[in-house]
Amino acid sequence: MEPWAWSLVETLRRLAARDISAVELTSLYLERAQRLNPCLCAYITISDRALADAAEADRRRSQGGFVPPLAGVPIAIKDLFDTPYLDTTYGGIHVRHRPPREARAVRRLRRAGAVILGKTNLHEYAYGTTNDNPHFGACRNPWQKDRLSGGSSGGSAAAVAAGLCAGALGTDTGGSIRIPAALCGCVGFKPSYGRISTHGVFPLAPSLDHVGPLARSVADAAYLFAVLAGWDPNELHRLLLAHPTDLCLPRRKLVAGLPGGSLFAGGQAGVRHAFARALAQLEAAGWSFRPVDIPHASDIPVAQNIILASEARHVHRELLATAPERYGKDVRERLEAAQQFTGADYVWAKEVQAATIRALAAVWAQVDVLILPTVPVAAPARGQTQTELNGETVWVRSALTRWTNPWNLTGLPAVSLPAGWTEEGLPFGLQVVAGPRQDRLVLQAAAYAESVFGRMPVEPVTPDPQAKP
């Protein structure tokens, strides 16, 4: 197996054993990124200081003594995080912008010894699910380049899935980590709200924004989470929880809830069949399942949309008022449409949010976790704006967020992991959700499921000979 296909955990083992140096490993990743990025458009910026950082990791390892937990591991960062030493575009018009501060999550990675390879592509200002960026190009799905990578963390997911980094950092406001993870065939973890700092991350909707890792395995995601998580005094809502230093992932038999009702019904045929196969495999491994009703399910998409749109318009109010032409068409139209929502609408949506969180206590009394497909459709074609779902024509962005945004509204931890393939030969993502602050449980359950399905291989990717750097 090539070094760029190793898991993060295996990479750390090989670095510790001196099977490969951090400089050698980083050079391999940089060469691969330079060669394949023209056809994938996963990176916006590739770092010119990665090799120097790798050399520092090798120096520290050669001297003995304390070695940081991620020393020499090449990591990619979604270009929504502030980095004073790398251009920070937010996926928008902030070309050659270098903010004075460093995002707290990135600082944690660097203090842990990670080598930052570069900044990854995203849907403009993180406000979308296609990753068709009007400023930097559309990020392509590594498995079928005519398909969407998903968004808004599509560049991070594509980079992980194609072996252009050992792990990546993303954000998730309505599914923006889990959707691209599902479409590209990697693991995406949205922790509980507030577990990882959003300080220094350009906001989309602050009361719904989450930061989390994308990785090749659940163990990799758990390792990154252990580095990233912790209380931050700058957070708007503080979760005073112990730092997760021991994320052991034992196998265990779980009772998994299957969400019912119209919101969670249906899905395209390929997704339904893949989900049925996954359930059969888990049942054979000892899992048991129980249908559950999700309270206020019919109100969840409306409430989520009102909160997200209202907060996003507030974030962008100044630039939208003075220079609307600087936005791409789809993001500008969504921001402008948000003016239809009133203060009363926002209060109603927050009431739905609070009532749903309270009522879910009855669900967690019945089951350990919830399990469902991450998205109800296979990766749509690039440029596709509508799709068929349950006999209706719906917007692609609405279809992709249908089964992810309930867990942003409620702030619950959720993992998307690869669980086979759809009939179109595209990755199928399975979503595992746990109760309030049960981040360790959701990772344990996902790790057990991964042991049943096996890890997704890294897509080797064939460069497009017509693509230009």
Domain residue ranges of the chain, discontinuous segments joined by +:
3-453
Of the candidates 377, 374, 365, the residue with the CA atom closest to the CA atom of residue 405: 374
d(CA 281, CA 157): 26
d(CA 175, CA 215): 16
CB 244 within 8 A of CB 415: no
Residue 469, pLDDT score = 39
pLDDT at 251 over 60: no
Strand partners, 140: 148
Residue 233 pLDDT grade (very low, low, confident, very high; cuts 50, 70, 90): very low
Pairing of strands 392-395, 369-373: unpaired
d(CA 202, CA 243): 25
CA-CA-CA-CA torsion for 82, 88, 89, 95, nearest 10 degrees?
140
Residue 219 pLDDT grade (very low, low, confident, very high; cuts 50, 70, 90): very high
Tokens, residue 23 = 């400089």
- Average of per-residue pLDDT across 186-204: 97
174 phi-psi bin (left φ>0, alpha ψ -120 to 50, beta other): alpha
414 CB-contact burial (10 Å; exposed 0-12 / middle 13-18 / buried 19+): buried
Q: For the chain, give the percent of residues with pLDDT over 90.
A: 87
Q: Annotated catalytic residue: which of 21, 47, 153, 176?
A: 176
Tokens, residue 365 = 């009394």
- Average of per-residue pLDDT across 1-8: 94
Q: For the chain, give the percent of residues with pLDDT over 70.
A: 93
Residue 235 pLDDT grade (very low, low, confident, very high; cuts 50, 70, 90): very low
Cα distances (angstroms) measured from residue 286 to each of 254, 366, 417 = 8, 17, 19
Of the candidates 4, 370, 3, 9, the residue with the CA atom closest to the CA atom of residue 213: 9
Please give the model's pTM, rounded to 2 decimal places. 0.94
- Average of per-residue pLDDT across 31-51: 97
Residue 246, pLDDT score = 45
pLDDT in tens, 386-436: 999 988 999 999 999 999 999 999 999 999 999 999 988 999 999 999 999
For the chain, percent helix, then strand, then coil, each to nearest 5? 40, 15, 40
pLDDT in tens, 277-289: 999 999 999 999 9
d(CA 418, CA 182): 7
d(CA 142, CA 344): 44
d(CA 134, CA 80): 16
Residue 254 pLDDT grade (very low, low, confident, very high; cuts 50, 70, 90): confident
CA-CA-CA-CA torsion for 351, 435, 281, 219, nearest 10 degrees?
120
Is there a catalytic annotation at residue 176?
Answer: yes
CATH T-level assignment (fold) for domain 3-453: Amidase signature (AS) enzymes (3.90.1300)
Pairing of strands 288-293, 132-133: unpaired
Element (H, E) at 27: helix 22-40
pLDDT in tens, 75-90: 999 999 999 999 999 9
Q: Annotated catalytic residue: which of 78, 119, 145, 190?
A: 78
Residue 376 pLDDT grade (very low, low, confident, very high; cuts 50, 70, 90): very high
Of the candidates 149, 208, 167, the residue with the CA atom closest to the CA atom of residue 74: 167
Contacts of 335 (CB under 8 A, 6+ apart): 127, 309, 312, 313, 316, 320, 327
- Average of per-residue pLDDT across 250-269: 86
Residue 243, pLDDT score = 36
d(CA 436, CA 177): 19
Q: What is the number of other CB atoms lying within 10 angstroms of the CB of residue 454? A: 10
Q: Annotated catalytic residue: which of 149, 152, 156, 192?
A: 152
Cis peptide, bond prior to residue 152, ω within 30 of zero: yes
Of the candidates 69, 15, 31, 38, the residue with the CA atom closest to the CA atom of residue 165: 31
CB 152 within 8 A of CB 131: yes
d(CA 65, CA 53): 18
**Cα-Cα-Cα-Cα dihedral sign, residues 353, 354, 355, 357:** positive
- Average of per-residue pLDDT across 89-113: 93
Mean pLDDT of the chain: 92
pLDDT at 250 over 80: no
Residue 467, pLDDT score = 53
Secondary structure (3-state) at 13: helix
Residue 239 pLDDT grade (very low, low, confident, very high; cuts 50, 70, 90): very low
